[in-house]
Amino acid sequence: MTPDAILSRAHALDAGDPLASYRAAFVDDASVVAYLDGNSLGRPLRATRAHLVDFIDGEWGGRLIRAWDELWMERPFALGDRLGRTVLGAGEGQTFIGDSTTVLLYKLIHAAVSARPGRAEIVTDTENFPTDRYVVESVAAEKGLTIRWIEPDAAAGVTLAEIERVLSERTALVVLSHVAYKSAFIADMPGITAAVQGAGALVLWDLCHAAGVVGLSLDADAVGLAVGCTYKFLNGGPGSPAFGYVATQLQDELLQPIAGWMGHARPFEMGPDYAPAAGLRRFISGTPPILGMVPLMDMLDLIEQATVPAIRAKSVLLTEFAVEAADAILAPLGVTLASPRDPKVRGGHIALEHPRMSQVVAALWEQDIIPDFRRPQGLRLGLSPLSTSFAEVGTALTRIQALLESA
């Protein structure tokens, strides 16, 4: 396949793309030739500009403090229910919006290990996202626990067999990413969850690179705990609030460590002592970021229209096209695929490796082609299905070829 053939194929795929019209819903700066980092920060939606103004003039400016009683006290849970229904495969009363991913990881990791007294180990993997590893290390030090490290294949991810080998009566909690942030490997959520729970432990899933691009069935897979961000494939914007999922049966068993007035059983009594609320509210601490939830509402509108199965289908086509093109024009130049070849276990991005990728990414950014670089030599193509065209992918790959050939 030649560069011209790749671009021709890309245009044909765009012409036949049933989701192509959704690209018009996103803010698209004409100076950007190709944006391929939607797995780090999604594009903003055009509708959000007007909706932010509406929020300021209406809910905030018009209702002022009354909006807390009328709308905002319940918004973390109402919007969480909508996210659960639309994206997570989760029933009502189990998903909430608020805090950052880091804070929610800390809350749920701390709560989980505290709920398994006498068990002294947390299991995670060396390829997990840095924040996950750092928070695990922090909680382990705080609680006097041992970390059991799995060292998976970096081009794949943690397998069920690897989990089963380390599980024991000492295991309190397993912390894993459903989609690996480097390779995009999709872990076996139902199999691993069943194995961990069968050993009497809890498992916490990081959904940051999964939510909005991979089909999820948290309830059907009997997941107990999950956390995810909203600024990647959910297009909530920089610093948009994260979400937490706590299965109904665990809610009154777990006690999160950041006691705040919003999580109190009687928040407006302003009493001298903390008493955790029943149910999901106990996982809230301070005032929820109501303003930051507006863009997420807009993206959920779009996902509901497009549907997650259709989004996943295009995601597979995008990554398949990228892998085929990379094999044709980049592999002969020494580029290797550091992601699974099987689309069934590959998420919404692919990783390509070459010793010169750092210089290549810098040069691409100069040309207004924006992928992502991961040390020491990885280039990630983040392919957000509703906003990314096949032509953007084809253009980027042919430019990578040209840059490597010009060295």
Active-site positions read 129, 206, 231-232, 380
243 Cβ contact partners less than 8 Å away, ≥ 6 residues apart:
80, 83, 95, 96, 97, 98, 104, 211, 227, 228, 229, 230
Burial code (b: 16+ CB inside 10 Å, e: under 16) for 238-255 equals eebbbbbbbbeebbeebe
* Helix pair 101-114, 130-143: axis angle to 10 deg: 40
The one-character DSSP state at 66 is H
CA atoms of 369 and 31, how far apart (whole Å): 10
361 Cβ contact partners less than 8 Å away, ≥ 6 residues apart:
371, 372, 373, 379
Spatial contact of 150 and 162, defined as CB atoms under 8 Å apart = yes
Per DSSP (E only), the strands in 199-337 are 202-206, 225-228, 243-246, 336-337
* Tokens at 64, concatenated: 């002022």
- Tell me the C-alpha to C-alpha distance, in Å, between residue 288 and each of 27, 34, 40, 223: 27, 35, 23, 25
Among candidates 131, 40, 6, which has minimal Cα distance to 348? 40
CA atoms of 165 and 278, how far apart (whole Å): 37
CA atoms of 114 and 136, how far apart (whole Å): 13
* Helix pair 294-306, 308-329: axis angle to 10 deg: 80
CA atoms of 51 and 398, how far apart (whole Å): 38
- Tell me the C-alpha to C-alpha distance, in Å, between residue 294 and each of 14, 24, 28, 52, 398: 30, 19, 20, 7, 37
The one-character DSSP state at 216 is -
Spatial contact of 192 and 224, defined as CB atoms under 8 Å apart = no
H-run or E-run covering 360: helix 357-366
